[in-house]
Structure 1
Amino acid sequence: MTTLFYVDDSKDDLFYLDYICRRQQIDVDLFCYPTAEMALEALEMRAAEGKTSPDLLVADLYMPLDSGIGLITRLRLDDRFKAMRLAICSGSDAAEDRARSLEAGADAYMEKPLDLAAIIHNLEM
């Protein structure tokens, strides 16, 4: 089963993705976190317990305290998570946001609202 971490400070966006997962009965272990720190702590705990990293971590571009780019940068510098697939998401379609995200080490840039079924399908290919 695919494991997905989703990091977003918007309670509405976290609720929406969880709702879509249940409504469309998508076969995924979805873990939602409202802050980058909470997601990082969960990743560290998984690593300490010998569990594999998620198949994908998607982080919102604009969050207070630590942006999605900040989280991606931190994960790319940590040998435990360096190979993990990472994505940035945003409601922005600005080319500079996409470029900054990819330059920071994101594997993908996704526009909101997220299409969970398409994300899982692409991961399974």
Structure 2
Amino acid sequence: MTTLFYVDDSKDDLFYLDYICRRQQIDVDLFCFPTAEMALEALEMRAAEGKTSPELLVADLYMPLDSGIGLITRLRLDDRFKAMRLAICSGSDAAEDRARSLEAGADAYMEKPLDLAAIIHNL
């Protein structure tokens, strides 16, 4: 089963993705986190327990304490997570947001609302 980490400070966006996952019965092990720090702690715990990293981590571009770009940058510097696919998501369609995200090491830039079925299909 595919494992996906989703990081977003918006409770509505976290709820929406979880709701879509259940409603569409998408075969994914979805973990939602309201902060980058909580997601990072969960990743480190998985690594310490010998579990594989998620196939994909999607982080919101704009979060108050640590942006998605900050999280992506941290993960790309950690050998344990270098191979993990990383994506930034945002309601912004600005070319500069997409460019900054990809320059920081994201594999993809996704616009909200996220299409979970398409994301899983493209893994």
Give the TM interval when normalised to the shorter protein.
over 0.9
CA distances 1:87-110 after superposition (whole Å, capped 9, x unpaired): 000000000000000000000000
How far apart are residue 55 of structure 1 and its match? 0.3
User: Given the two structures, how large is their TM-score scaled by the length of structure 1?
Assistant: 0.98
Q: Distance in 2 between matches of 1:81 and 1:121?
A: 22
RMSD value, Cα? 0.2
CA distances 1:11-31 after superposition (whole Å, capped 9, x unpaired): 000000000000000000000
The answer on 1:17 being equivalent to 2:17 is yes
User: Given the two structures, how large is their TM-score scaled by the length of structure 2?
Assistant: 1.00
Give 1:103's aligned residue. 103
Q: Distance in 2 between matches of 1:83 and 1:73?
A: 13
Structure 2 residues not aligned, in runs of 5+: none
Identity %: 98
SS in structure 1 of the partner of residue 110 of structure 2: strand
SS in structure 1 of the partner of residue 6 of structure 2: strand
CA distances 1:64-122 after superposition (whole Å, capped 9, x unpaired): 11000000000000000011000000000000000000000000000000000000000
